[in-house]
């Protein structure tokens, strides 16, 4: 199952039913024969609980020196680093939050696709685990857990989810 960008939609196709589910502008849409074509199903918030403001939580975690906390956030890519090739391979880049806090994103590319089109000033969203450090923190676990023990994380870049 893959989620892709299509025009202004973020879409997932379900091959077992032949249906599509997508989002656009905070709304959820379904498409398929069972829906008689395209159906506007409602707002995203009607179906899922929206995450609290990630900047505030990340600022508090940093100030308190806390780690091992699942977080959601958004940021702007301000630096692209070389891959970490020790052990599991990780794509690394630094983002800046709206609050000006910086985070190192350490994205496991042995378990998730590399974000090849990543560039400076790109916007990303992420769900991952926060680890404290003196520079602002590190986000990792931005991928699925093949063992099903840890919460699956992800990175959203240019309407594509990397998981």
Q: Strands of 9-14's sheet, edge to edge?
A: 3-6, 9-14, 19-24, 27-32, 37-43
Backbone angles phi and psi of 110, in degrees to 5: -85, -25
Could you tell me the residue ranges of all domains in the chain? 3-46, 54-162
Q: Which CATH architecture has domain 54-162?
A: Beta Barrel (2.40)
Q: Report d(CA 150, CA 144) in Å as an integer.
A: 8
- What is the maximum span of the chain, computed from C-alpha positions, in angstroms? 55
Name the pTM for this structure.
0.70
Q: Report d(CA 58, CA 65) in Å as an integer.
A: 10
In 3D space, the residue among 46, 42, 15 whose CA is nearest the CA of residue 30 turns out to be 42
pLDDT in tens, the chain (163 residues): 567 777 777 888 888 888 888 887 778 888 999 889 888 888 766 665 555 567 888 999 999 999 999 998 999 999 999 999 999 999 999 999 999 999 999 999 999 999 999 999 999 999 999 999 999 999 999 998 888 888 888 999 988 889 8
């Amino acid at each position: 199952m893959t989620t892709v960008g299509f025009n202004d939609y973020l879409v997932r196709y379900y091959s077992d039913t032949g249906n599509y589910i997508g989002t656009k502008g905070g709304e959820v849409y379904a498409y398929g024969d069972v829906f008689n074509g395209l159906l506007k199903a409602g707002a995203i918030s009607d179906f899922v609980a929206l995450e609290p403001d990630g900047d505030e939580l990340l600022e508090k975690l940093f100030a308190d020196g806390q780690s091992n906390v699942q977080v959601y956030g958004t940021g702007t890519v301000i630096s692209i680093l070389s891959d970490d090739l020790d052990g599991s391979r990780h794509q690394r880049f630094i983002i800046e939050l709206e609050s000006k806090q910086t985070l190192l994103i350490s994205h496991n590319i042995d378990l998730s696709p590399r974000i090849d089109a990543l560039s400076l000033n790109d916007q990303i969203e992420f769900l991952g685990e926060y680890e404290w450090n003196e520079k602002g923190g590190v986000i990792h676990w931005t991928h699925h857990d093949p063992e099903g023990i840890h919460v699956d994380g992800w990175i959203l870049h240019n309407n594509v989810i990397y998981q």
